[in-house]
Chains A and B, each alone.
Chain A
């Protein structure tokens, strides 16, 4: 049973536009959520996190929104840059990290 789902395996966005990556979860016991970015041949890199008691957290071009009633979170990247092209993993943390399968973002110049 997948506790964290990322239903879009891939997403293409034009440079300068907004990228919206979505994530759904089933486990109500997660204390907080995180987004990681992964380039080929590298380990995942932490991007941004949000506590389960918050509904928004912003860090520069990255904003994460949490809708607890819908068990849904999203990562907004504005403006998108070609260097943002990577696989993005959403993760929930309760007793350990549970990762989604990832979404491959391609930012086209």
Chain B
């Protein structure tokens, strides 16, 4: 059974640009969540999607947005990139909404903003 797949693995962007990250959950999983990992802040919750609807949102500015498609694949978009957006972005999938089961994480996309 394939795991959670995130693309691309590495990305370098300049300030002011926008970026789109992709996450393909484990087959059959309907919940996808996104997290930002930085050395100082650890893992911080961005948002969760379940059956194409945003279920929950963390404390991030509106520049961070996402969506989920009918096949459960999810994309995360960051507009007007800032240097502080440099981080590892992790996607996690669960069978059901995340309260019911543990989450399986992808390897992440390392975004560097220069």
Residues on A lying within 8 angstroms of B by beta carbon are 31, 34, 36, 41-46, 49, 89, 91, 93, 95-102
A45, A93, A96: the one contacting B58 at CB < 8 Å is A96
Asked if A44 and B43 sit within 8 Å, CB to CB, the answer is yes
Asked if A99 and B103 sit within 8 Å, CB to CB, the answer is no
Residues on B lying within 8 angstroms of A by beta carbon are 4, 33, 35, 41-45, 48, 56, 58, 90, 92, 98-99, 102-108
Which residue of chain B lies nearest to A97 when distances are taken between CB atoms in the complex? B45
The distance in angstroms between the C-alpha atoms of A100 and B98, with both chains bound, is 17
Asked if B107 and A42 sit within 8 Å, CB to CB, the answer is yes
The distance in angstroms between the C-alpha atoms of A46 and B56, with both chains bound, is 21
Asked if A44 and B42 sit within 8 Å, CB to CB, the answer is no
Asked if B4 and A43 sit within 8 Å, CB to CB, the answer is yes
Contacts of B43 in A (CB 8 A): 44, 89, 91, 97, 99, 102
Asked if B107 and A96 sit within 8 Å, CB to CB, the answer is no
Contacts of A97 in B (CB 8 A): 33, 35, 43, 45, 92, 98, 103
Which residue of chain B lies nearest to A89 when distances are taken between CB atoms in the complex? B43
A45, A96, A102: the one contacting B33 at CB < 8 Å is A96
Asked if B102 and A46 sit within 8 Å, CB to CB, the answer is yes
Known: A96-B48, A97-B33. A45 touches B105 (CB 8 A): yes
Asked if B98 and A93 sit within 8 Å, CB to CB, the answer is yes
A43, A49, A99: the one contacting B102 at CB < 8 Å is A49
The distance in angstroms between the C-alpha atoms of A45 and B90, with both chains bound, is 12
Contacts of B41 in A (CB 8 A): 101
The distance in angstroms between the C-alpha atoms of A34 and B105, with both chains bound, is 14
The distance in angstroms between the C-alpha atoms of A41 and B48, with both chains bound, is 23
Asked if A43 and B106 sit within 8 Å, CB to CB, the answer is yes
The distance in angstroms between the C-alpha atoms of A102 and B58, with both chains bound, is 19
Contacts of B48 in A (CB 8 A): 96
Which residue of chain A lies nearest to B4 when distances are taken between CB atoms in the complex? A43
Asked if B105 and A44 sit within 8 Å, CB to CB, the answer is yes
